[in-house]
Structure 1
Amino acid sequence: MTNQHTDSAADQRDPFADREAEKYENPIPSREFIIEALEKESNPLRLFEIARLVDVDENDEERFEALSRRLKAMVRDGQLMRNRRGAFGPLTKMDLIKGRVLGHPDGFGFVVPEDGSKDLFISDKEMHKVLHGDIVIASIAGEDRRGRREGMIVEVSERANQTILGRLNFEDGLAWVRPNNTRITQDVFVPQDGLMDAKEEQIVLVEVIHQPSMRSGPIGKIIEVLGDYMAPGMEIDSAIHDFNIPNTWSDALLAEVEYIPDEVTEADFEGRKDLRALQLVTIDGEDSKDFDDAVFAKRRKNGWRLVVAIADVSHYVKPGSELDKEAYKRGNSVYFPQRVIPMLPEKLSNGICSLNPQVDRLCMVADMSINDDGSLERSQFYQAVMNSKARLTYNQVNDILTNPQSPHRETYAELVPHLEELNGLYEVLLKAREERGALEFDTVETRIIFDESRKIESIVPVVRNDAHKLIEECMLMANVATARYLKWHKMPMVYRVHESPLEERLKNLRTFLADFSLQLGGGDEPTAHDYAAVAAQVKGKPYEHLVQTVLLRSMNQAVYQPENKGHFGLNYEHYTHFTSPIRRYPDLLIHRAICHVWTKQGPAEFYYDDAKMAEFGAHCSDTERRADEATRDAVTFLKCEFLSHRLGEEYEAVITAATNFGLFVELDSLYVEGLVHITELGDDYFHYDNARHCLKGERTGKVYRLGDRIRVQVAQVNLDERKVDLRFIGDFAAAAGAEELPSSEEEGQDEGDDQQPKKRGKKRYYRKKKRGGKGTKA
């Protein structure tokens, strides 16, 4: 059978032969062709059998050796598997799956398959072979008692942790490092000759010299001592390392930056529109340092003119440059408390690319005409040079617009009429947003106030005023105009996509809403209008926040991708990110696409095709999640440390999540979350109802669900695991309007299946409120 296939395979044309011929003087069959040929075989093949199959002569030593190296590389990259007989076969034919290990703080883990199929559960015993982040080949061993696919690690293709950051411990003459990353549950043993004079309890960086196996754990040597465990700023250093956030600039990049001027030159003006006389202003937070957007609005006879000027980063960061490579690797800026890891060096982010006041800057402009009903009539895009007339803050603008006696009205007297024009446009856009049915939930964002020792002094809510919303609406309009513009020109691009909720989540959501006599319209495909209608029905009710929270959790996470599937939450058919190229790589890609259109070239001549945009989109979606997880980890540690000094104190709290092992609650006034374990709730069997987001007592019928208020005491804080354990004191009987909550104890209500929460549910005992930034994270 093999010979028969050999002849047919050799006769077939390798579809990637031309590509291979361009790369090599003596080309061999492509990886794609080898996999296709092997998939037609009934058994794995040895090297010489594959050579005959793909028409490589064994006597041609150079090509035969090249084929051998290619097969080994394909094994290394997880495209093929080599069995004990030395024969090669595709993973799909050998019932093997390649994926990334996702560790869990409790010791078990999952393999997230590259092909997008369901995750494999990995027992704590199997997890001894690997560490969080490793790329592995796994086999399906069957199903566990909960019906999940269970896997076994067959081979590790790529080790993700060459170094590990953690705290040094000593006991009985032995030394080990406990990783800061709670997803890595194996301690790293350090021999005496690898201690580098480090002291106990210090945070150290360990080089892993022996990766874990079934027989032994990881072994390493200390290569750097970062400092004491509780040193100020150590939580950020730890998060940067644990989440692999790039935070250093290469020598090659710094050399490239040296050639970038500090000021705009006359030569840069060529071909640009001069907008320096236009009353463009930036409006940002008090502590912002990089200003990438400026706005101007003017009332017209039948509508408005809105000009959104964005820093022209693409003029300085060229495709393939060291700056571009590093910006892509970072994907976005990362905002920690009092510290930023920027996507671009400070010379660009805070200097030549930042739209600082009273200096000339290069910009890309979305110049839009908006009808009186708030709809986009037409838009044009062009390169320009501008000069910001003022660096304003949200609070200043809000005070100017709402307080006739504001001292800022005198300071910025020349700009007040223009700000009032902007506000008039905002009111029109806000009305259009409401009519469109775009979702807007009232969530509390917080800001950490530090003392002189960089310890938390207080945690305060951040109030979004109308100036925040004004800028948000202007940016949304510019993003929509950009998406429409590039779609019209059929350019490869990354959309900002927010897909409709999944069927299972919709089912659970409707079950939950039924307890409140609420219905979600839209059938199998509800729109943002349908969601907004539910939110409107509970406006002002005691359970408004509860319903809003469940509505929000039923939705998907927004991602970057070239396939346009619309933006569910904003209810836009076309949407992308154009307005923040200083801090988001997708915006830089969009700017390059716009520039390409200006040069009158077709999509085929663009730097990137749809396949490349898909790669960019997936990467940038990952770096966005990485930034969220890293900042959440750092803030969680800070909040745990803050609460560790308040053991025994009692607080009123609101339930923010229910699981089968207890309740997560947020402490009033502190905005810190912790866990009330299920055993704290009294002498009863409590069962978790996933659809209704609650715990229900089997004997008493007592129900605890999202939004309920209780009283708790701080019992224990574990800084290493980022856990806050709370003792249940009692129900908060004085909760205003509590008696108005609809009962969830109607006849026939399910009691839940008392199962563990899904893998992608609660990973830590804290969740950081998302940074508001400019407008929204839409």
Structure 2
Amino acid sequence: MNQLPTKDQIRQWIAENPAQGAKRDIAKAFGIKGAARIELKRMLRELEDEGGVVRKRRTYREAGSLPPVTLLTVLPPDAAGDLFLRPMEWEEEGAPPRILFIPKKGDPALGAGDKILGRLAKVDLDDYEYEARLIRQLGSNPVKILGIFRAEAEGGRIVPIDKGADKEWRVGRDFTEGAKDGELVEAEQMGPKRLGLPQARITARLGDPMGPRAVSLIAIHQHGIPDRFPDAVLAEADAAKPAPMGKREDLRDLPLVTIDPSDARDHDDAVFAEADTDPANAGGHIVWVAIADVAHYVRPGSKLDREARKRGNSTYFPDRVVPMLPDTLSGDLCSLHEGVDRPCIAVRMKLDAEGAKISHRFLRGMMRSAASLHYGEVQEAADGRPNPRCAALLDRVITPLYAAYEAAKKARAIRQPLDLELPERKIILSDAGKVLSVDFRERFDAHKLIEEFMILANVAAAEELTRLKKPLLFRVHEEPSADKMDALREVAEASGFSLAKGQVLKTAHLNRLLSQAQGTEFDELLNISTLRSMTQAYYHPQNYGHFGLALRSYAHFTSPIRRYSDLIVHRALVSGHGWGDDGLSAQDIEALEETAKQISDAERRSMAAERDTTDRYLAAYLSDRVGAEFAGRISGVQRFGVFVKLDETGADGLIPIRDLGREFFHYDQDSQTLMGADTGLTIGIGQRVTVRLAEATPVTGGLVLDLLTLDGSALPQGKPGKGGRYAPRKPGKFAPRDRKIKRKVERTRR
């Protein structure tokens, strides 16, 4: 079209095309291109403000309407026996539209409270506005349970290991699979729901829950992380051969080095820097980042590709890694080992004297790593204490890398990405899997150097593919919601700091707050609170920017061995530059949005499993110290109790509301505080506490604490006759559940 549509035309088109509500669909329908898209965005915003359309997850629909595929809850049958449905998500004013369920032959019988995914059709009737047909019933797959089996005469019970689970499951004699008392088992629900304990059948026996390295195994099963490669996938990986030189550019004389943790099991990125000799860029630098060419080995549609897409990413535990790719690739052919020819996709970036990237060039090459280094030794060398192998690389490699990083820091300071400083815990295990210590990882400039160069390379990849007009997966991080910013502002003000209100939020504003708190007792609290206020990053084929990094365009390019998103970006670069037949396939492009959601979900699954594993290891480490006192800080307040982060280990424990005292506590969600009804005692985030460890349960990762002092003072007594004085429990009153488990396991083995 030569001219823009009117708002009425846009509204009508959205109403007539409920399945195509994305901005790009609207732009395509009206032939809107280029700069005119900005005007379309303005018109859509006006329509939204006027109430003509509503926006949900980047799609627009007519106000008061529902999307064609919707999550629905079944209502009780009406007097005529018809089933009506209610949308599970309805955020508009007024009652949601009435929806009649139209069953078809073969549909399961539905009852009140069941949840379904339904396909809606709008109808022009007085009694209801939509008719719905079943796509699938939700929650109809058997419920999975992971727990401890307790043998009984007629079978047994399963005690779930989830922290929040409070019900047990009955297992009949014929469904125990021979499980022994105290074993960790996986089970699934069987039969309909009835009064009493729900029924389950054991599907897998996982052994002693207190055994070596059982902690990560629990997380793997609990979160459904695929940890075994099918034989066909392994066979495909084993058949792979080293990549030939072919038409690749020869980078083998370039002294690229890998810099990783000392215990790294794969090396997927290498770096090199040198001063730019171009007189037009005085004081500038050339930075090379070379990344393992995984796309050469993992072809679209192959068995390796399907398995990698399903896994989404590698998952890292203190005692093991569940890799995205088999070890033949991740640990060998794709890993940039020292002194070995390896295929790569590299980017050569030119930085000016102030660290700003002024150009870049991508290429497909063959490299040979000059050295596999770790962060500690590189930092020692930069600080003037090189070991023999770093001494040989100091002038040619290490010093120029730090010089380029010093320039990049200047550009970073101008950009002002979110500058969070959160200590990372490192759990040290013995060979038998026992926790020896919990340390906090040291963070060197060597870490920051690699991070900054990886960010530069990721930005270059996003910009390059945008220039080439090739589809890709962006790494998206949207700005936090107003509600979360209000909550952070409350925490800041309670700590004696301020966060400006009424302006467009920028990371610089948050950095200013973090700078105010730096070096004070509230430093860690405000870093944690700021992190919690952020939205979760995710992958998407559309570019919505990266708030945390203060970048307009960002993609993941630098870790294709352990992230599927990076493999998609590599394939897009292959297609965009015509480097071979292993670029993006038509199926890749068609499924890009689905892939983005799948790998975003997989990332969250891995994060949850890693977090749960850390909690269990910390609980195991502290289980011998029940009754000991610890210093900490309140990190969260909920209606059911108070969370405390312990200074010594960074572990999080709960003080249940029932154990705070005998008075009633009022919970204020806005200020995140609890206030005693009798004493007026106010408990809030950031307060210093002394606590006593009452329970530590390794199998669930739960820590239960008693509150001893608040901000250095003993707790006040309640009013006479209204609750009395605070009386924390005596240590050992509630024996840890894991000790019972251990005793029973030992008894059955005798």
TM-score relative to the length of structure 1? 0.72
Aligned residues: 610
The question of whether the paired residues in 2 share the 8 Å contact of 1:495 and 1:560 is answered with: yes
Residues 180 and 238 of structure 1 are in contact (CA less than 8 Å); yes or no, is this contact kept in structure 2? no
Q: Is the 8 A contact 1:545 1:707 kept in 2?
A: no
Task: Show the counterpart of 2:313.
Answer: 332
Match of 1:35 in 2: none
Q: What is the CA–CA distance in structure 2 between the aligned matches of 1:601 and 1:170, rounded to whole Å?
A: 60
- What is the aligned partner in structure 2 of residue 469 from structure 1? 448
* 1:299 aligns to 2:275 (yes or no): yes
Alpha-carbon separation, structure 1, partners of 2:74 and 2:628: 57
The one-letter amino acid of 1:374's match is G
SS of 1:632's equivalent in the other structure is helix
Question: Which of 487, 490, 493 is equivalent to 2:466?
Answer: 487
Q: Does the aligned pair in 2 maintain the 1:313–1:581 contact within 8 Å?
A: yes
Q: Is the 8 A contact 1:566 1:574 kept in 2?
A: yes
State the match for 1:369 in structure 2.
350
- Asked if residue 166 in structure 1 is aligned to residue 147 in structure 2, the reply is yes
Matches within 5 A, 1:372-391: 372-391=353-372
TM-fit CA distance, 1:80:
12
2:211 counterpart of 1:231: yes
Note the residue ranges of structure 2 that are not aligned, 5 or more in a row.
1-15, 21-67, 97-108, 119-133, 715-750
Note the aligned Cα RMSD (angstroms).
3.6
1:270-314 per-position Cα deviation (integer Å, ceiling 9, x unaligned): 111000000100000011011000000111142111110000000
Equivalent residue number for residue 284 of structure 1: 260
**Given the superposition, is the C-alpha separation of residues 276 and 478 from structure 1 closer, same or farther in structure 2, using an over 3 Å criterion?**
same
Structure 1 residues 348 and 734: alpha-carbon distance in aligned structure 2, compared to 1, 3 A threshold: farther
- Tell me if 1:714 matches 2:693: yes
Within 2, Cα distance between the matches of 1:88 and 1:582?
Answer: 56
Q: Which residue does the alignment assign to 1:677?
A: 656
Whether the aligned pair in 2 keeps the contact of 1:369 and 1:376 (CA below 8 Å) is: yes
Structure 2 residue 222 is the aligned partner of structure 1 residue 242 = yes
- Cα offsets for 1:43-78 (capped at 9, x unmatched): xxxxxxxxxxxxxxxxxxxxxxxxxxxxxxx99x98
Aligned equivalent of 1:253: 233
Residue 308 of structure 1 aligns to a residue whose secondary structure is strand
**C-alpha distance after superposition, 1:614-645 (max 9, x if no partner):** 21111111000000111122222222222221
| Residues 375 and 189 of structure 1, relative CA distance in 2, 3 Å threshold | same
> Shift in Å at residue 414 of structure 1?
3.5
Post-superposition shift, 1:546? 2.5
- For residues 95 and 524 of structure 1, the distance between their equivalents in structure 2, rounded to whole angstroms, comes to 42
Amino acid aligned to 1:562? P
Aligned: 1:420 with 2:396: no
Distance in structure 2 (CA, Å) of the matches to 1:318 and 1:251:
18
SS at match of 2:691: strand
Cα–Cα, structure 1 residues 359 and 506, in superposed 2: closer, same or farther, change >3 Å?
same
Shift of 1:531: 1.4
What code does the residue aligned with 1:248 have?
Answer: R
- Which of 281, 294, 303 pairs up with 1:313? 294
- Give aligned-pair identity as a percent: 36
1:672-706 Cα offsets, whole Å, 9 max, x none, are 22112334444554333334333344454443333
Q: Would the alpha carbon gap of residues 243 and 193 (structure 1) be closer, same or farther in structure 2, given more than 3 Å must change? A: same
Cα pair distance change 1:290/1:460, threshold 3 Å: same
Residue 334 (structure 2) pairs with residue 358 (structure 1): no
Letter in 1 for 2:255: Q
CA distance in 2, matches of 1:732, 1:81: 50
Tell me which residue corresponds to 1:694: 673
* Correspondence list, 1:309-708, <5 A: 309-402=290-383, 404=384, 406-408=385-387, 411-515=390-494, 518-521=497-500, 523=502, 525-599=504-578, 607=586, 612-682=591-661, 684-708=663-687
Give the match for residue 160 of structure 2.
179
Q: How far, CA to CA, are the matches of 1:258 and 1:525 in structure 2?
A: 54
- Structure 1 664/515 Cα, relative in aligned 2: closer, same or farther at 3 Å? closer
Check conservation: 2:568, 2:584, Cα contact below 8 A: no
Give, in whole Å, the separation in 2 of the partners of 1:476 and 1:170: 54
Report the AA paired with residue 533 of structure 1: R
Give the Cα–Cα distance (whole angstroms) in 2 for the partners of residues 424 and 238 of structure 1.
46
1:506 positional shift: 2.1
Per-residue Cα deviation, 1:737-778 (whole angstroms, up to 9, x for no partner): xxxxxxxxxxxxxxxxxxxxxxxxxxxxxxxxxxxxxxxxxx
| 1:164–1:700 distance in 2 versus 1, CA, 3 Å | closer
Unaligned runs of 5+ in 1: 1-11, 17-73, 100-110, 118-128, 139-152, 736-778
1:95 counterpart residue number: 85
Which SS does the other structure have where 2:387 is aligned? helix
Cα separation, partners in 2 of 1:410 and 1:724, compared to 1, 3 Å: closer
State the secondary structure of the residue aligned to 1:499. Answer: coil
C-alpha contact 2:316 2:610 (8 A) present in aligned 1: yes
2:182 equivalent in structure 1: 201
Q: Secondary structure at the match of 1:295?
A: strand
SS at match of 2:654: strand
Alpha-carbon distance in 1 for matches of 2:220, 2:630: 33
Partners in 1 of 2:402 and 2:364 — Cα distance?
26
Task: Give the equivalent residue in structure 2 for 1:40.
Answer: none
For residue 190 of structure 1, give the secondary structure of its aligned residue in structure 2: strand
The CA deviation at 1:450 is 1.7
TM superposition shift of 1:468: 0.4
Q: Secondary structure at the match of 1:364?
A: strand
Equivalent pair of 1:274/1:386 in contact (CA under 8 Å): yes
The one-character-per-residue Cα deviations of 1:58-101 (angstroms, maximum 9, x if unpaired) are xxxxxxxxxxxxxxxx99x989999999x999x9xx434479xx
Counterpart of 1:244, as a letter, is G
Following superposition, the deviation at residue 660 of structure 1 comes to 2.4
Q: Judging changes above 3 Å, is the alpha-carbon distance between structure 1 residues 306 and 633 closer, same or farther for their aligned structure 2 residues?
A: same
What's the CA shift for 1:463? 1.2
Task: Using the TM superposition, give the Cα deviation of residue 606 of structure 1 relative to its aligned residue in structure 2, in angstroms.
Answer: 5.3
- Equivalent pair of 1:492/1:608 in contact (CA under 8 Å): no
Give, in whole Å, the separation in 2 of the partners of 1:522 and 1:706.
Answer: 21
